[in-house]
Amino acid sequence: MAEQVEIRRLSPAELRAQLDGLAAVLHDCVAGGASVGYMAPFSHADARSAFEGFAAEAEQGRRLILAAFSDGQLVGTAQVVLELMPNQPHRAEIAKVLVHRSARGRGIAGRLMERAEDEARAEGKTLLVLDAVTGGDAARLYDRLGWTTVGVVPNFALYPDGRPCDTTYFWKAL
């Protein structure tokens, strides 16, 4: 039977109910070496605490959180950061695009990004910005989805094991 993938914007109640699922995806990505803000060692409890913070911001309308469910199981997530400085009301940032290693290569991140753009547009946003590790899986995804490269910042961040990585900034007009 074909896999059923559903993308949903999580309500405050669903966010609370899905905290462990969201944390499991973040934990798996960091365990897999992704440079998404955190250093090793990084536990499930650390990941849950990160998502508790994001959920609190989502409840205040400052960001929105999407989740991808494969046959009912949470396998991916993405965020739209809505609240930036007062002089940038038309702009949002895409953050924490994460797909569990077991669910990669099936177009789930592509669908999360498509939905993130739709949600941002519905919030009145006309410009999106994001950044990704230079030359990585995510940067390839954003290229494929029509994002424009701004440039590379050398040594912008670290991988979880402490090695430095370059970052590429992208933008997309909606």
Ligand X SMILES: CC(C)(COP(=O)(O)OP(=O)(O)OC[C@H]1O[C@@H](n2cnc3c(N)ncnc32)[C@H](O)[C@@H]1OP(=O)(O)O)[C@@H](O)C(=O)NCCC(=O)NCCS
Contact present, 132 and 58 (Cβ < 8 Å)? no
Question: Which of 65, 81, 138, 160 contacts ligand X by CB under 6 A?
Answer: 138
Binding status of residue 67 toward ligand X by CB under 6 A: no
Interacting positions 90-109 with ligand X (CB under 6 A): 97-99, 104-109
Nearer of residues 59 and 129 to ligand X, judged by Cβ: 129
Nearer of residues 48 and 159 to ligand X, judged by Cβ: 159
Contact present, 160 and 34 (Cβ < 8 Å)? yes
Binding status of residue 19 toward ligand X by CB under 6 A: no
For residue 112, the minimal CB distance to ligand X (Å) is 8
Determine whether 85 is exposed, middle or buried from the number of CB atoms within 10 Å of its CB (0-12, 13-18, 19+).
exposed
Binding status of residue 146 toward ligand X by CB under 6 A: no
Please work out, in degrees rounded to the nearest 5, the angle formed at the alpha carbon of residue 118 by the alpha carbons of 76 and 107. Answer: 35
The binding track of 30-49 with respect to ligand X, each residue x by CB under 6 A or -, is ----x-x-------------
- What angle do helix axes 44-59 and 19-31 make, rounded to 10 degrees? 130
- Secondary structure element (H or E) that encloses residue 151, with its range: strand 148-158
Q: Is residue 41 reached through a cis peptide bond, with omega within 30 degrees of 0 on the bond before it?
A: yes
Question: Which of 7, 10, 22, 29 contacts ligand X by CB under 6 A?
Answer: 29
Question: Which of 12, 61, 89, 110 contacts ligand X by CB under 6 A?
Answer: 110
Dihedral sign (CA 50, 53, 59, 62): negative
Interface stretch with ligand X, choices 6-14, 41-49, 57-65, 137-145 (CB under 6 A): 137-145
Q: Residues in the site for ligand X, rule: CB under 6 A?
A: 29, 34, 36, 97-99, 104-110, 132, 137-138, 140-141
